[in-house]
Amino acid sequence: MAAYREHITVSGLLGIGYGTAATLGLGFTPVQAALAGFITGIGGMLPDLDSESGRPVREIFSVTAAMAPMVMMSRLLEWGRTTDGAMLLAVLVYVAVRYGGAMVLGIFTEHRGMFHSVPAMLIAAELVFLGYKSDSLRVKLLMGTGVALGFLSHLILDEIYSVQWTGVRVKLKASAGSALKLAGKDFGANVVTFGLLATLTYVVLVDGGVVAPAHLPGRPPTQSIPHASKPDVFRG
């Protein structure tokens, strides 16, 4: 598989290209383009969050935890209602991702499991799409697509490095096909991954206005009740 240095180099260059294209070719502001490029670079490291402990993994978790409040800043300001409240929420998000996320992934994932897969890439993109608050659907898609591109570059690079060239003969390593996949060998992990993907996809479609939100069974959509006309007042 490709090393940490190769992944960060490729995703970093991809982020620069993506940000440049966003502002010069697609009409986004330089700030939006720079943020999208940064998210793309971070996306190229996300699949290795399921790796065993080590300095690169700690660095990836630290950067990811720092990026999460940044992406969610508008939502944190909305939820916190004040600057102080938003700052407190940002700290809580950082701690939750940096330490809670590391603990959960360490317990429930294995290296090159479903975290290294196309569905995981889509989940990462949808989380960024939902976490980034904007009135513009184009901007939200820009951010979500950026992390997906970075994530995909990691998967493709791992597959490229799983091919050995011995003269004119091509030999595949045991890791071949374990990164760029739709499903893994663990049935439970597949169920959880596709269940989360289906849920997030529905929320994204609702957030984007593609589908209407579902209503609880037995509870019809709320309808406005016309106000009753006031009775006439008889004058004496």
DSSP3 helix / strand / coil % (the chain, rounded to 5): 65, 5, 35
Confidence (pLDDT) at 47:
80
Question: Average pLDDT, whole number, for the chain?
Answer: 75
Q: Is 121 domain-assigned?
A: yes
Q: Is 229 domain-assigned?
A: no
Confidence (pLDDT) at 18:
93
- pLDDT tens-digit readout, 52-67: 555 556 666 677 777 7
Instruction: Tell me which DSSP letter residue 186 carries.
Output: -
Q: Contact, 141 vs 132, CB < 8 A? A: no
Average pLDDT score over residue span 33-47: 87
Q: Is 8 domain-assigned?
A: yes
Q: Contact, 146 vs 43, CB < 8 A? A: yes
User: What angle, rounded to 10 degrees, do the helices at 4-24 and 30-43 form?
Assistant: 160
Q: Is 98 domain-assigned?
A: yes
Q: In terms of residue numbers, what domain contains 108?
A: 4-207
Q: Is 168 domain-assigned?
A: yes
- pLDDT tens-digit readout, 117-147: 888 899 989 988 988 888 889 999 999 999 9
Q: Contact, 107 vs 132, CB < 8 A? A: no
Cα maximum dimension of the chain? 110
Confidence (pLDDT) at 146:
92
Q: Is 174 domain-assigned?
A: yes
Q: Is 221 domain-assigned?
A: no
Q: For residue 197, give the nearest of 125, 149, 132, 99 by alpha carbon.
A: 125
Question: CA-to-CA distance for 176 and 79, rounded, in angstroms?
Answer: 44
Q: Is 233 domain-assigned?
A: no
Token pair belonging to 129:
């799409």
- pLDDT tens-digit readout, 181-230: 887 777 877 888 898 899 989 888 988 777 777 654 555 554 444 444 44
**Total domains in the fold of the chain:** 1
